[in-house]
Amino acid sequence: MGNNVELLAPAGSFEKLKLAIGYGADAVYFGGELFNLRARSKNFTIDKISNAMNYLHKRNKKGYLTLNIYPRNNDLNDIENYLKKIAQLNVDAIIVSTLGVLKLVKNILPDMEIHVSTQANITDIETADMWYKLGAKRAILARELSINEIKQFVDKSKIDTEIFIHGAMCMAYSGRCLLSKYMTGRDANRGDCAHPCRWKYYVREEKRKEELFEISEDESGLYIFNSKDLMLWDYIPSLMDIGIKSFKIEGRIKGILYLTTVIRSYRLLIDSILSKNNHKKRKKWRNMLFEANNRGYHEGFISGPDGYESNIKSSRTFSDYRILGYIDETGEFIAKAPFEPGEKYDYFEPGKKQGSIKVISIVDLDGKTVKKAKPGRTYKVTFDKSIKKFSVLRYKR
């Protein structure tokens, strides 16, 4: 049993970092303003990285910086300069995707722990061991691996293993397309690509069956390529038995309700497994995951190579709940949506407790009583019962 398994959470902002730790994450990963694969996340400036690491280390938690782009030649000098700037920030590890960036990190920060991103597509032990020989300590394994293959890494490779257990999946990443196998049965990852990405596609509207419209991509993506989300909740006991080092949750650009709900569910499960109790409540904790935004869930490739499943109905995420806000570590309430005194709402705390709670009063920071909270504001809120810091207030649509 992997008693020291790490629950690793996304931190798209300093606010989310604090909530992730508040809900039981052992470590977080986040991006700086440059050279990471989540450009739309509220990434961390140099000063924020320093503050984040101080915050984490005071609580005996860890922080990993993503430096996982595939750089071009004209990026290399900038990456070197960036590494020099973060040299004194006490980051616990840097996540890289390429050998070139690994070399730069080793040259400039020789004592830095290096993790290899899932973007590097590590699918075999020889590759993992080569990364290890070159100085990497941990591999974030490719998401296409089955549980039996993952076990082989733990048993035979020298490198520590990390896997994604929850979050968004993708039809294709880093040039390793699954579209051909999905549509034709010919596996591009084995040299048999039918190049369906080059075919011309049309869509037909129900009431105009004779008219064909070209498919074009907008900010929502193409629905036919829209993967369901990964959920390995049911496999956590087996994965812990294997001895994996770290369980990773995807979602640096996801919202606070998603973040807190998902971390809470997996934290309760992992602690239950380690303490060998609360088995009767596990179904309830599993159901929490369906209260977070999702595109429908699937187990990915954990059972074998044909694990991809798309959600062709919509690219939107689904949840019955919307966040109203949360109590920060000072006891003040951070509003994310309007709410009023006298109303009852759902809430949950870090840990097991949740239920219904009534808002008694809302007072702004100038001491003025307000009739309705406004999003983006901070208040002192009185409830009809005492609840913990980081408790989330939500409502059901």
CB-based contacts of 128, cutoff 8 Å, min separation 6: 116, 122, 139, 141, 153, 157, 159
Q: How many CB atoms lie within 10 A of CB 45?
A: 11
Q: Is the separation of the CB atoms in 262 and 348 below 8 Å?
A: no
What is the C-alpha to C-alpha distance for residues 208 and 215, in angstroms, rounded to an integer? 15
**CA–CA separation, 142 vs 146, rounded Å?**
10
User: Is 14 within 8 Å of 48 (Cβ atoms)?
Assistant: yes
* pLDDT number for residue 1: 45
pLDDT of residue 144: 87
Q: Delineate the domains of the chain, giving CATH numbers in brackets.
A: 6-170+227-298 (3.20.20.70), 185-223 (no CATH), 321-396 (2.40.30.10)
Query: Structure pTM?
Result: 0.86
**Helix (H), strand (E), coil (C) string for 29-41:** EEEECCCCCCCCC
Sign of the Cα pseudo-torsion (92, 265, 318, 296, in order):
positive
Beta bridge partners of 214: 202
pLDDT at 204: 73
Helix (H) or strand (E) holding 298, with range, is strand 297-298
**Contact predicate 14/52, CB 8 Å:** yes
From first to last of the 397 residues of the chain, give the pLDDT tens digit.
446 899 999 999 999 999 999 999 999 999 987 775 554 455 789 999 999 999 999 999 999 999 988 888 998 999 999 999 999 999 999 999 999 999 999 999 999 999 999 989 999 999 999 999 999 999 999 988 999 999 999 999 999 999 999 998 766 654 456 677 777 887 654 446 675 655 666 667 677 767 765 555 554 444 555 678 899 999 999 999 999 999 999 988 899 999 999 999 999 999 999 998 877 889 999 999 999 998 889 898 898 866 555 444 444 567 889 999 999 999 999 999 999 999 999 999 999 999 999 999 999 999 999 999 999 999 999 999 999 999 999 998 8
- CA dihedral of 217, 232, 298, 167, whole degrees rounded to 10: -20
Q: Check if the beta carbon of residue 360 is closer than 8 Å to that of residue 353.
A: no
177, 170 in Cβ contact below 8 A?
A: no
Q: How far is CA 296 from CA 148, 208, 288, 290, 318, in A?
A: 25, 30, 13, 8, 8
Residue 222's pLDDT is what?
47
pLDDT score for 173: 53
> Residue written as tokens 């606070």?
256
Give just the sign of the alpha carbon dihedral 37, 12, 57, 164.
negative
Cα–Cα nearest to 271, from 236, 315, 226: 236
CB 153 within 8 A of CB 139: yes
